[in-house]
Structure formats: structure tokens, C-alpha cells
Amino acid sequence: MAEPHPRATPEIIAEREALAKRVCRELERAGFPVYRGDLSGSPHTQAGVDVHVTPFTDGGVYVDWETAAELRDPALDLLAKGIDYSNPPVLARYYNTVLNQMQAALLEILASAGFEVVRPDPHGHGSMVQVTEYRR
């Protein structure tokens, strides 16, 4: 049976790790709270920018904004119960707006710092930003 997600080579992982380190450095210089969620081994519960490397051949370096649990948990609970998306509750609208605006900001900030960035498929990656290269 084939592995569902083939792993990238150690060389590719090393390149991604170096890229993630540059991303963290530039976001910290811009004043963002940054952490590597993939290195913690625990659920993503910290607010700020989560920079992580995926080990799969089709993976890469991803950047995601995490809100504080005080906003995230009630919003996700509300969304899990089901809402009317044509007229969402204020909490759901606020949570989604924060994620969308932070994704747009991270895209622009990283691009201006010299990174190649793309907005990945939102169905598989939500509000993440994928960083593919550093051009400085």
C-alpha cells in the first residue's frame, strides 16, 4: 500500500527549515509575535503567527494567524453548531474578518520582505499563507 502523503527528502526539509527561519526573523522584525507550532508537538493554542514546515513532498512552509483562545474557541464552537452564512452572528463575522485580514496582511508583508508567497486552496489550508522562496 502506498503512503498517502509521501515524505520530502531530508535536503528539501532542510531548505524548508532555513526558509521558515528567515520567515520568522522577518516577521519578528516587523513586530509580530511568532512561534513554530510544528516544533512544539502540542496543539496550536498560542496567539500570533504560527510558522510551520510540512514534511510531505507536496508540503512547504506555511504561515497562519492564530487568534487568542478567548476569540477562537467560542467562534469555532458557534461555527460547529451551524450558522446562517448569509447573516452570520457578530462573533463569527468578527473571527472570520480577523483571519482574512491577517492573511492579507501577512501576504503583503512577506512579499515586501522579499518572499514569494501564495494563497493556498482555502478548503485545504484555511487562512494560511504559503511561502515558497526568498529573493533577497
DSSP, collapsed to helix, strand or coil, labels residue 73 as helix
Decide: 54 and 13 in contact? Cβ < 8 Å. Answer: no
The pLDDT tens digits for 28-77 are 999 999 999 888 766 667 899 999 998 888 889 999 999 999 999 999 99
Q: What is the per-residue pLDDT for 35? A: 92
Q: What is the pTM of this model?
A: 0.85
Task: Return the beta strands (E) in 1-136 as ranges.
Answer: 34-35, 48-53, 61-66, 115-118, 129-134
Task: Measure the N-to-C terminal CA separation of the chain; round to a whole number of Å.
Answer: 42
Count CB neighbours of 36 within 10 A.
16
Contacts of residue 2, Cβ cutoff 8 Å, sequence gap at least 6: none
Count other Cβ atoms within 10 Å, centred on residue 8. Answer: 19
Q: Look at residue 114 and tell me whether its pLDDT is greater than 70.
A: yes
* Per-residue cell: 66: 492564530
